[in-house]
Every structure is written in C-alpha cells, then in structure tokens.
Amino acid sequence: MSKWKKILVSILLTVGIIFLFSPAIKNAIIDGKIDKTMNRITNDLKQADLYNNRKNNNEKTEPVHDLPSELDVLKSLDYEGNPVAFLYIPSTNLQLPIYGAVNNESLLHGAAEMKDYNTLGKGNYAIAGHRMRKRGLLFHDIPRLNIGDVVYVTDKDTVYEYKVNSSEIIKEDETEVVAERGKDEITLLTCDIPSEPFNRVAVKGDLIGSFQYSDDFISNSNKK
C-alpha cells in the first residue's frame, strides 16, 4: 500500500471513529445539511423546480432505521435529494424540506411524504420524520405541539395552512392513521420516545385555508 493510500485510510478511520463516538457531531451535520437545503429552497429553487422534483421523483420508499446512528449519517453525507415542498411550524420555529419518499437518507435530511401525492392540500397529507434526541432537530418537537398550533406546507406556489386538532400515541402497525377520511388534513408521524421507538405519535390538523406563496410568508405568519 502506498504512502498516500495509508494516509487516506488513516484519515477515514479517524473520521469514522469521531462519528461513531460523537452524537453532537452527528446532530451538527444533520442541522447543517437541513440549513443548506432550506437556503437552497428559499433562495434558489423556484416553484417550477419543486414541481419538477415531484413529477420526476426517483426517490424510493425503503425500510428505515428507527434510531439513526452516526454511521447512518456518515453513509448519507453525499445525499442531495430533490425536495418537493417545505414545512414551517411557527410555535417551534421548525423549517424542514419535504422529500417525496420515506427512506433512511430523506429522513436524515428533512421530512418525507408517506404516500404518492400529485399536489398538496388534497386529502390526508401524511408526512413522517425522525424524532431525534436533540430538541429542535427534525421531528423532535412534534409530540409537543398543542391543539390550535398552526402548520404550514408549501410548494412555493400555494401555502396550505393547517390547525392541529389532535395528538395521540399509536402502535407502529396502526397504518390506518394515514388513510383517507374524506377531508383535507395533515398527519405528522414520528416516534414516541427516541430511545424506545416502539410506538408512534400521530399529530393531525385540518386544512383551514390557503394563500399565495411569497418570499416573506414566514415573517408575515409570525405576526399573526
């Protein structure tokens, strides 16, 4: 093995050890990737880009790890993804990209749609997210939402406004929570306890309105 190959292997091993033993670094990397994607969505991507991402979505739905490890983060460093929308919750100041399929990579970089949707604002819009141990990271704060809290989802064309009306703990196999119920609503699904991901928290909200997207909609919504 050449000298440079030995150096490269040593560097990779060192980086791997750091990841394996430092949850703080894991959380910082996830935060950084989310911030980068949100900046790209809000500043660079247009509505047509998000529409094309949905239309040409090649993300695959795959089984996910309930407790993502530092190694999972390391494996997903190259993930770019193609967001189809984004989520904003004023009460927790959560802003997340939304991807078109649930898999290990998408859930480490935002939230993900649990079904195929051609458009937003119709039927039961079900999205999943990891409940991390760090407050404010991914879906950690979803179980803390209160009745009446507002959830916004937008594709940069229209902003859909939902009001939380229920929050309940369900079993992992209670998939009927994402079934259609004859009305327009949102379902946010995450683990109950990050270290014991056997149950799920399902937060639901009714669609109460929609309005045209503008670049200052987040700041304007904070004034309500």
- pLDDT (tens digit per residue) in 99-149: 999 998 999 999 999 999 999 999 999 999 998 878 888 999 999 999 999
Q: What is the pLDDT of residue 211?
A: 95
The highest-confidence range among 24-28, 35-39, 61-65, by mean pLDDT, is 35-39
3-221, superfamily in CATH? Sortase (2.40.260.10)
Q: What is the pLDDT of residue 164?
A: 98
Query: Residues 65, 109, 140, 191: which is the catalytic one?
Result: 191
Query: Residues 65, 109, 130, 140: which is the catalytic one?
Result: 130
pTM of the model as a whole? 0.85
CA distance 2 to 113: 47
Q: How far apart are the first and last CA of the chain?
A: 64
List b or e across 64-84, with b for residues whose CB sees 16 or more CB atoms inside 10 angstroms: bebebebebbbebeebebbbb
The distance between the two most distant Cα atoms of the chain, rounded to a whole number of Å, is: 65
Active site residue 140: no
CA distance 189 to 111: 10
Mean pLDDT of the residues in the chain: 87
CA distance 217 to 181: 29
CB of 94 closer than 8 Å to CB of 152: no
200-216 pLDDT, tens per residue?
Answer: 999 999 999 999 999 88
**pLDDT tops 90 at residue 44:** yes
Active site residue 109: no
**pLDDT tops 90 at residue 45:** yes
Beta carbons within 8 Å of 121's beta carbon, 6+ residues apart: 153, 158, 160, 184, 207, 210
